[in-house]
Structure 1
Amino acid sequence: MARLTRFFDPFIGFLVGTVVLASLLPARGAWADRVDVLADIGIVLLFFIHGAKLSRRNLIDGGRNLRLQLAVLACTFLVFPVLGLALSSLPMLSASLATGFLFLALLPSTVQSSIALTAIARGNVAAAVCSATFSNFAGIFITPLLVGLLLGGAGELSIMASVQKIVLNLLLPFLAGHLLRPLVGDFIARHMAGAPSGAGEAPLPAAQR
Structure 2
Amino acid sequence: MEEDLPILWIEGARALEGEYMVFTVRLSEPAVDAVTVNFRTLGGTALEESDVVSWGGDRLTGTLVFAPGEDVKTISVLVSNDIEDEIDENVLLEIHDPVGATFGGGAQTLTAVGWALDGDGIGADRAIAVSAPVVQEAPAARRSSPSACRKPSPRRKASPSRPSTARPGRGRTTSRGRVRSLSPRASSRRPSRSI
Higher helix share: 1
TM-score scaled by structure 2?
0.23
Structure with greater contact order relative to length (CA < 8 Å, sep ≥ 6): 1
Scaled by the length of structure 1, what TM-score is found? 0.22
Larger % of strand: which?
2
